[in-house]
Amino acid sequence: MTDAQRNALKLAMPWLVTIAMFAIWELACIAFNIQEIVLPRPSRIFAVSVERWSILLDFCLQTLWTTAIGFGLAIIGGVLIGLAIGASPFVYSGLYPLLIAFNAIPKVAIVPILMIWLGVGAAPAIITAFVISFFPIVVNVATGLATIEPEMRDVMRSLGASNYEILTKVGIPRAMPYLFASLKVAITLAFIGSVISETVGGNRGIGFLMLSAGARNDTATTFAGLFAIAIMGVLMYALCAWVEKRMTGWAFRGELVG
C-alpha cells in the first residue's frame, strides 16, 4: 500500500465502520425479525428522519442553542473558577471539596428544582447544560496552573515578577491546552445536560421530541432524535478540536529535533 492509499484509508475508516455497523444492524433486524417498536431498522430511521425533517431540524436548533449558551457560560465560569483555584491555595482548599460534592449530585435531580424556579422552557436546559459541563473545565484549568514547573517559577521570581505576572505570562498560556482538551469533554456533557432537562420537563428540543415519540410508541422517531444528538455532538466536538489545534498548536509539537 502506498502512503497516499494509507492516508485515504485512514480518512475513510470512520465512515466505513459506521456503514458496517448500520449494515449489521439492518441485517440483524431482518434476520431475527425484530419488530419496529423494539428496534427499528436504520433504513426506517433514515426514512422517518427525512419525513419529519422540518420538526427535527427545528428541535435540533432549539437543543443546539440552549446547549451552546450553557456551554459558553460553562467556559466563562469554568475558566474564572479554575484560575482562582489554580492560583490561590486558599481558594483551592475552600472551594474544591464543595465543587466535588456538587459534581457528585445527579443533574437529573436538579432539573425539577430549576423548573420550580424558572418554569418550563429554555432556561432550565441552559442551566443544566452549564452545571454539568463546567466541572471538567475547572479541573483542567486548575491543573494547568498547578503544574507550572518550579524552575519556571524560580526564573520568574528571580526576575522580580509579581504573582499576577507569573499568572499572565506563564500560568494562563500554560493552562490553554488543558482548557481546550477539557472543552472536547465538556461539549458532549453539555448536550447530555440540555437533553436531560428537555426530557424531564420541556416543551421543545430533541429531548422533548424523543420523550413524546416514545410515549406514542414511535420508536423510529426516538432513534432519529438520538442520531440527531449524536451528529450534533460529533460536529461540536470537531469544532472544539479544530479551535484547539488553531489556538495551541505548540502543544501538539512533534518530537524534539535531535
In the chain, what's the furthest Cα-to-Cα distance?
75
Residue 157 touches other proteins, criterion: CB under 8 A? yes
CA distance 87 to 138: 12
Closest CB to other proteins among 138 and 156? 156
Q: Within 10 Å of residue 117's Cβ, how many Cβ atoms?
A: 10
Closest CB to other proteins among 58 and 149? 149
Q: How far is the CB of 184 from other proteins (least distance, A)?
A: 20
Closest CB to other proteins among 85 and 170? 170
Chain-centroid distance of CA 211 in Å reads: 21
Residue 81 is placed in which grid cell? 473558577
Residue 165 touches other proteins, criterion: CB under 8 A? yes
Q: How far is the CB of 153 from other proteins (least distance, A)?
A: 9
In contact, 241 and 186? CB cutoff 8 Å: no
Quick note: the x/- pattern for other proteins over 32-71, rule CB under 8 A, is ----------------------------------------
Among 116, 158, 216, 246, binds other proteins (CB under 8 A): 158
Residue 106 touches other proteins, criterion: CB under 8 A? no
Residue 243 touches other proteins, criterion: CB under 8 A? no
Q: How far is the CB of 145 from other proteins (least distance, A)?
A: 14
Terminal-to-terminal C-alpha distance of the chain: 30
**CA neighbor of 185 nearest in space, from 77, 49, 96, 71:** 71
In contact, 181 and 244? CB cutoff 8 Å: yes
Q: Which stretch binds other proteins (CB under 8 A): 58-66, 92-100, 151-159, 211-219?
A: 151-159
Residue 246 touches other proteins, criterion: CB under 8 A? no
Residue 218 is placed in which grid cell? 414511535
CA distance 141 to 167: 12
Site residues for other proteins, 111-140, by CB under 8 A, read: none
